[in-house]
Amino acid sequence: MDRIALKYGINPHQGNATLSIEAGALPLTVLNGTAGYINILDALLGWQLVSELKRATNLASAASFKHASPAGSAVAVSLKSTERAMFFIDEEYPLSEQATAFVRARGADRLSSFGDFIALSDRCDESTARLIALEVSDGIIAPAYDPEALALLKKKRKGSYLILQIDPTFAPPSLEERTLFGLTLTQERNTLLLDETVLSPIVTRNRALSESAKRDLLVALNTLKYTQSNSVCYAARGQAIGVGAGQQSRIHCTRLAGEKADLFHLRQSERILTLPFKKGLSRNAKDNAIDQYLRGELIDRDGVFTTPVAPMTGAERRAILGGLDGVSLASDAFFPFRDNIDRARQSGVRYVVQAGGSVRDDEVIAACDEHDMVMICNKIRLFLH
């Protein structure tokens, strides 16, 4: 049996924590740092997400994981100038495809990504590593590292940054086990590949599904596959922009993810991009200030601005959010009521994929038709517990 000792279990008082495999060698190599139990959970879930998203889209992929759910995920869709500005990326900085995917994944919900575990589908190059070096993060998993990238990452967290390398050819057994309260649960692994073949049938009158919408629906679906349920994901321009995870009520998932998606769009407004931050302010301080400002909670006690800043008015918010369109939405199970569709439309959702199978499917489909939305009911549930 091949095994490595972990720092501790889920909490520091839970000792005797290990990672092991019954037969053969572990597909993970610790290149730097010491792994913890939660690190491994995030790393293995994150690797599965990015490797499958790469297979589904043929684009470099990245994910930012926190507490066994993605805070963000994305594929390599080139950045607009406004996106570079909101992600704090200089116009001149050269972005590789892997770096582009990382920037999008890390920028989806920067507050939730604070102290994350990063997963990359492809080799970590210097372009990506330099950006990771600027962020507060607990670790990374990737199939390979360029020497320059590895040297940069080894300097993070005073040399303790956790760096994992995974064998991309590793194929786990078809059955997986989980021990809980001294009892063992066994099931087949969820090996379903979520590619374009799962984007049917379309059940609404509007059947116009663009290539970019297909890509975004696949980003959302693959994200949900590795998100603790219940979960709903909004996606746009190749990235998750709002993840509502672990809620008992589906409408709460939709609202939570929708609020995050709204904040994502508001962050691209001229008002936010021109906030007069003091020089030398950290990215994290800016993230916190922007979030508080957009929520109407900012009291500039710490003096983050050089001049007084007026609050964003309701009219400004409505002008930005009211014009949104083309957003994609995926749900890990059926929508039981039309309230989810009505709320999603408020955040610019035009394309929806869900399992279907509710006794109120007709009402949900009718709501989509009222909003001229495209909806797919593919009969695929994606719960994760």
Show the low-confidence residues of the chain (pLDDT under 50): none
Structure tokens at 56: 């589904």
Q: Which amino acid is at 171?
A: A
Bridge partners, 163 (sequence order): 32, 140
Instruction: Judge whether 223 and 73 are in contact, CB under 8 Å.
Output: yes
Other CB atoms within 10 A of residue 224 CB: 31
* Phi, psi torsion values for 98, nearest 5 degrees: -65, -40
Domain 2-166: homologous superfamily in CATH? AICAR transformylase, duplication domain (3.40.140.20)
pLDDT of residue 297: 80
The CA distances from residue 44 to 19, 70, 119, 303, in Å, are: 12, 12, 9, 41
- Phi, psi (degrees; rounded to nearest 5) at 150: -65, -40
pLDDT value for 359: 96
Residue 308: the pLDDT is 85
Neighbouring C-beta atoms of residue 271, cutoff 10 Å: 19
pLDDT digits (tens, 9 = 90+) for 26-47: 999 999 999 999 999 999 999 9
Which pLDDT score, from 0 to 100, does residue 310 have? 87
- pLDDT at position 1: 83
Which fold would CATH assign to domain 175-266+320-377? Cytidine Deaminase; domain 2 (3.40.140)
CA distances from 321 to 72, 130, 156, 327 (A): 21, 33, 38, 12
The residues annotated with a catalytic role in the active site are: 66-67, 230, 385
pLDDT attached to residue 299: 64
Task: Report domain extents, the chain.
Answer: 2-166, 175-266+320-377, 277-311
What confidence score (pLDDT) does residue 300 get? Answer: 63
What does the angle CA 259 – CA 257 – CA 100 come to, to the nearest 5 degrees? 100
What pLDDT is recorded for position 309? 87
